[in-house]
Structure 1
Amino acid sequence: MAMSVLDRGSPAALFAAVAAGAAMKYAAGFMFPKQKKEEYRYVGKVGSIWVYPFKSFKGVNVQNADCTSVGIQWRSFGDRQWAVSTADGVYLTQRQVPKMALIEPVLDGDNIMLKAPGMEPISLQADPPVTDSNISKVTVKADTIRSVDMGDAVADWLCRYFDRTGLRLHYSAPNLEKRDASNAKKLWQNPAKPGDMLALADNCGYMVVSNASLADLNTRLETPVPITNFRANIIVDDCSAFAEDSWSSIRIGDVQLRALDACTRCIFVTVDQSKGVKDKNEEPLKTLKTYRLRDPYGPKPCFGVNFTMDKCGHVKVGDPIYATVS
């Protein structure tokens, strides 16, 4: 029987075999390109966790929390799920009313107690039902969404505390629509994807910053500021200053968060959270502007990073943090 060219092991046959194999590998690679595997590495640990249930009120420092699709959650306190508005439904913050910083929410079973200097505490439902009689609307940034109006009693309490008229308290109930971060109009390209949701926070569901970044800032200030000036949710220990700027994705246990963009800072950070007044020298904003301006963010300095949820789960203080680095 005649032997094939390959059977004879001729140089031509071997070359043909190698060439054919290479061609097949090329074709397979073209049709099914390899996905670059993301490499996560240890970058720090959770130093503290903060929930800010009421927009611009005092935060709640907790030891553990759930990370949901719209923000961090501790018991009945979901991050930025309540907001005060003017009579026309537009949200208020410490930018306009610094003394909002002095109102303290306290979880009391199925109720929330609000405490403020010079005021008798007031109690309200932590999760009131949505009815035809209490449905309202609130505008945060460019978004107007449905909300629960928390009623006349707390509205009157807020008006007396702030010495203003027409104020209302809104609640973004779980079964009401949320805001999509991808709809935000920014001076730079918005990196959020459709489905990156949030309740009543300004721009994102999560904010991350490190204690090392705060320590670096405080070495430059005549009067140091606390981490609460920046109202972040996850405070990181065991990393270098501004290391968080380079984290494109982080994992904490089962939780996975994706970085969106830097958190650009405004006059809000000058409010003394223990006194409810703005710093007369506009610190620490003035100092941040001397060394934390970054492209493409324009004239506002960067401090902390906005994140969104990719995978829900539970976090606690001391958990190791792993990140992909851009």
Structure 2
Amino acid sequence: MEKASSVLAALFGSREPAEAAATVTSIFVYPIKSCRGISVPQACVTSTGLDLERLQWDRQWLVVNSKGRAYTQRVEPKLALVDIELPMDAFKDNWEPTDLSYMVIKAPDMEALRIPLNKKCAAVDDISVWEWSGSALNEGNEAFEWFTKYLGKPSRLVRFNTELEIRAVDPNYAQGYKTLFTDGFPFLLASQGSLDGLNELLDEPLPINRFRPNILVDGCDPFSEDLWKELKINKLNFHGVKLCARCKVMCLFVDDTGWPWSVLSACKEMSGREVKGCCCREPLRLLAWAMEMASNAAADHGCRQPVSLVLRILPLLGTVPCQCTAPASASAAACAPLSCFIPTINQENGVTGNEPTSTLMKFRSDHALKLKKTQGKMFFGQNLVCKESLLPPRGSKTIAVGDPVFVLQKYSSNVDAPI
């Protein structure tokens, strides 16, 4: 018994403090990656399939192109305008869908699309999002036609195949944990205090949906969540594994037939070529123009090996070294360091702007925070994993608006917090 107690103590930390550090004020679930979230009063943290621990319904679906590669707001900001509705009972503990249960998808100038939640779908292979690839469940022709019409290009809606597939989080930060179609980790926590602190510096305040957290808390000092290493919400134990990086690259979303002359001029001045470059993992150590290839790899005019078929242009504001990658081996993962992590995209109209990126760089960059590594990134929010996922499945647990947040252990400073 003593041995079992010591194991649990090591896993879950010490006894919770007498006073809560914050309170859960909002919970957001994003059923389709990069589409609008649903604000719910409570949500189940559940194990499904191969012991995945996540918020029920979060990032279960993904919109992909004709080659099975993920669309995100980084490439298709129109996804920010897609509304999702689920039965409100779907967020209750032990709820099971019936033949009359649907996910309803809406978008401007489109008829509503109804996706049955209880339908058996055929699996399709070669679906990829960032570093992961595998099979997923195809939601059918009606969904294909709907998203193809809305985005103006062949697009499918697929669901994570929890019975056959596993997507592990980065083992350098959390070993043994898994997720679905999130960018990296199953939970993102942010605080109202941090948002208020940022908004004090902006000409126009931003809503929290710019940062797309799962859990919003209030009652703590701005950015105090940076240091939360171990926390407990309604008997669920979470581990803060990594500050959420917001890359300082701002995407300019234009197609290859409508590039602004100012962009083309900048490219020509640097390399003499308007639509060629080399696949890169990171931008050059100077002000440069990079491009995103059809493979979702990044291309940078400062590199030597030319490739063509450029679809997007990204203005780089960074100063990190360039690491070349052969075009044949380029993948979505190669573009990850260049990705704009959503906050510059207005979630109400899908328009890309400069804020809050410019302001965050002044006081939330790795340089401003004096972190050990400086990679030209800024940070807002804390990525979490739920420790219960390392134990045998015990059914669902619920977190709810109003739940207290107890911080069991903190990092000593931002320098010690993983990034």
TM-score by length of 2: 0.63
Change in 2 beyond 3 A, CA 1:297/1:116: farther
Provide closer, same or farther for how the CA distance between residues 211 and 101 of structure 1 changes in structure 2, counting only shifts above 3 A: same
Q: Is the 8 A contact 1:70 1:199 kept in 2?
A: no
Is 1:191 the counterpart of 2:276? The answer is: no
The 2-side partners of 1:70 and 1:259 are apart by: 15
Q: Shift of the alpha carbon at 1:46?
A: 0.5
Determine whether 1:113 maps to 2:198: no
Structure 1 residue 127: deviation in Å? 4.1
Task: Report the residue type matching 1:72 in the other structure.
Answer: L
Contact 1:259 1:305 in 2 (8 A): yes
TM-score by length of 1: 0.81
1:136 Cα deviation from its structure 2 partner: 3.4
Among all aligned residue pairs of Structure 1 and Structure 2, give the percentage whose two residues are the same amino acid: 31
Separation in 1, partners of 2:66, 2:82: 20
- Any gaps of 5 or more consecutive residues in structure 2? 1-5, 47-51, 88-99, 248-339, 389-395, 412-419
Q: Secondary structure at the match of 1:273?
A: coil
Q: Which residue is equivalent to 1:211?
A: 192
Q: How does 1:133-148 map to 2 (within 5 A)?
A: 134-148=123-137
Q: Does 1:250 pair with 2:231?
A: yes
Deviation at residue 163 of structure 1 after TM alignment: 1.4
3-state SS, counterpart of residue 343 of structure 2: helix
Q: Are 1:175 and 2:163 matched, yes or no?
A: yes
Distance 1:62 1:97 in 2: 26
Instruction: Provide the C-alpha distance between the structure 2 equivalents of 1:149 and 1:297, rounded to a whole number of angstroms.
Output: 41
Secondary structure at the counterpart of residue 23 of structure 2: strand
Tell me which residue corresponds to 1:286. 358
In 1, the alpha carbon distance for the partners of 2:192 and 2:125 equals 39
* Rounded Cα–Cα distance in structure 2 between residues aligned with 1:65 and 1:240: 25
Computed over aligned residues only, the root mean square deviation of the Cα atoms, in angstroms, reads 1.8
Give the number of the structure whose residues are more often strand, by fraction: 1
- Greater CA drift, 106-115 or 205-214: 106-115
Whichever residue aligns with residue 64 of structure 1, its letter is: Q
Q: Say which SS state the counterpart of residue 67 (structure 2) adopts.
A: coil
Aligned length, in residue pairs: 277
Please say if residues 264 and 297 of structure 1, whose CA atoms lie closer than 8 Å, have aligned partners that are also in contact: no
Indicate the residue corresponding to 1:16 in structure 2. none
* Alpha-carbon distance between aligned partners in 2 of 1:81 and 1:308, rounded to the nearest angstrom: 17
Deviates more, 1:122-131 or 1:217-226: 122-131
Aligned counterpart, 1:21: none
Deviation at 1:130, TM superposition (A): 4.4
The secondary structure found in structure 2 opposite 1:272 is: coil
- The yes-or-no answer on 1:45 pairing with 2:45 is no
What is the DSSP-based 3-state SS (H/G/I as helix, E as strand, rest coil) of the residue aligned with 1:288? helix
2:66 alignment counterpart: 87
In the alignment, is residue 317 of structure 1 matched against residue 317 of structure 2?
no
* Structure 2: distance between partners of 1:43 and 1:106: 32
In the TM superposition, what is the alpha-carbon distance from 1:206 to its structure 2 partner? 0.2
